């Protein structure tokens, strides 16, 4: 595998393109206009500058990465020589299916077609192609150049060869691929995140604790452990007999509703959407919003430097 095409240069797309370029692949990044692509290139250069500043890459890695990357406003010319195509447009099924139809007709027969979808099943895209065995989801987490996880989601039609090829590819790049063997909404990561936020909202909604104290518990307690070990590792350390005993008592009291939280609905109705509107559970101005972004970025950079 030598040539990679990235369709969509937004928040995720240009980060994915950056990673493949850094790994030495010939990358073509595609979007609708050259202005959009130029903005994406600015983002890549900014990312590389930050990584160099904190010692994650060397100075000579920057020009080498940029040399591997080219821009193209035509899907057909961007993908015509690709061994791998990753679609990274917004979550619109009709748009994604339209793109996969074009890619299927235009790409070489051996080309693997992947979607960075965070919610749509790979079979939705595979069924509009003549190569469903070569279609899967490669779901990144943001920012892709700092978070190593990629969820590889197969459909019932995706071949073992395709999954193994992508697993080996990402492993060779220093990523941490996880295989989702069965299509399911939310895959792995988003299902776990949804379970956490459902319980967090329930705790606040039922007056058990404030949103601030929930954040204090997560940030200063088990959240720190989760940076070093996963839940199965952590509970292996604790002992499953203890977890069993706690579960028998606690599980009946854990939030299990299948509907959207009333508290969340109230926030939506009030237009309190978070940083983008200046208020969510916290209030934000430009300074406090930037402090939160910076704090999260610096923490991820430190973790990314772990060997």
Q: What tens digit of pLDDT does each residue of 227-252 get?
A: 999 999 999 999 999 999 999 999 99
Superfamily grouping for domain 3-180: NAD(P)-binding Rossmann-like Domain (3.40.50.720)
| pLDDT value of position 124 | 97
| pLDDT value of position 306 | 81
Q: Is position 118 annotated as part of the catalytic site?
A: yes
Q: Is position 139 annotated as part of the catalytic site?
A: yes
- Alpha carbons 1 and 76: distance in angstroms, whole number: 19
| pLDDT value of position 304 | 86
- Alpha carbons 119 and 125: distance in angstroms, whole number: 12
Same fold, 3-180 and 188-258: no
Catalytic residue among 26, 118, 159, 261: 118
CATH code of the domain made up of 188-258:
1.10.1040.10
Residues in the chain with pLDDT < 70?
Answer: 307
Q: Is position 253 annotated as part of the catalytic site?
A: no
**pTM reported for the whole predicted model:** 0.92
Neighbours of 135 (CB within 10 A): 27
Catalytic residue among 70, 81, 190, 261: 190
Neighbours of 120 (CB within 10 A): 19
Q: Is position 70 annotated as part of the catalytic site?
A: no
The DSSP code sequence of the chain is: --EEEEE--SHHHHHHHHHHHHTT-EEEEE-S-HHHHHHHHHHHHHHHHHHHHTTSS-TTHHHHHHHTEEEES-HHHHHTT-SEEEE---S-HHHHHHHHHHHHHHS-TT-EEEE--SSS-HHHHHTTSS-GGGEEEEEE-SSTTT--EEEEE--TTS-HHHHHHHHHHHHHTT-EEEEE-S--TTTTHHHHHHHHHHHHHHHHHTTSS-HHHHHHHHHHTHHHHTTT--HHHHHHHH-HHHHHHHHHHHGGGS---SSPPHHHHHHHHTT--BGGGTBSSSB--HHHHHHHHHHHHHHHHHHHT--
| pLDDT value of position 307 | 64
Sequence ranges of the domains in the chain: 3-180, 188-258, 270-307
| pLDDT value of position 261 | 95
- Alpha carbons 189 and 149: distance in angstroms, whole number: 10
Catalytic residue among 3, 47, 106, 139: 139
Catalytic residue among 30, 151, 155, 202: 151
| pLDDT value of position 48 | 95
């Amino acid at each position: 595998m030598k040539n990679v095409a990235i369709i969509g240069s937004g928040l995720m797309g240009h980060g994915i393109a950056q990673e493949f370029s850094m790994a030495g692949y010939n990358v073509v990044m595609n979007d609708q206009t050259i202005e959009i692509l130029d903005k994406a290139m600015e983002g890549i250069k900014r990312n590389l500058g930050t990584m160099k500043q904190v010692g994650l890459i060397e100075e000579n890695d920057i020009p080498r990465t940029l040399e591997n990357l080219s821009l193209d406003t035509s899907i057909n010319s961007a993908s015509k020589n690709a061994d791998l195509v990753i679609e990274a447009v917004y979550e619109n099924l009709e748009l994604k299916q339209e793109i996969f139809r074009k890619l299927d007709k235009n790409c070489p027969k051996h080309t693997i077609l992947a979607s960075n979808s965070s919610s749509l099943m790979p079979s939705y895209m595979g069924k509009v192609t003549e190569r469903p065995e070569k279609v899967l989801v490669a779901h990144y987490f943001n920012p892709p150049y700092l978070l190593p996880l990629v969820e590889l989601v197969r459909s019932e039609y995706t071949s073992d060869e395709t999954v193994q090829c992508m697993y080996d590819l990402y492993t060779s790049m220093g990523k941490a691929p996880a295989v989702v063997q069965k299509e399911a909404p939310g895959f792995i990561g988003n299902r776990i995140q949804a379970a956490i936020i459902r319980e967090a909202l329930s705790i606040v909604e039922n007056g058990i604790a404030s949103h601030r104290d929930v954040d204090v518990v997560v940030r200063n307690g088990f959240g720190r452990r989760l940076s070093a070990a996963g839940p199965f590792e952590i509970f292996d350390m604790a002992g499953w007999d203890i977890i069993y005993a706690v579960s028998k008592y606690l599980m009946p009291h854990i939030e299990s509703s299948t509907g959207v939280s009333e508290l969340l609905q109230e926030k939506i109705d009030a237009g309190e959407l978070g940083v983008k509107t200046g208020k969510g559970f916290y209030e934000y101005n430009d300074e406090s919003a930037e402090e939160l972004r910076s704090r999260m970025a610096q923490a991820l950079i430190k973790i990314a430097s772990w060997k």
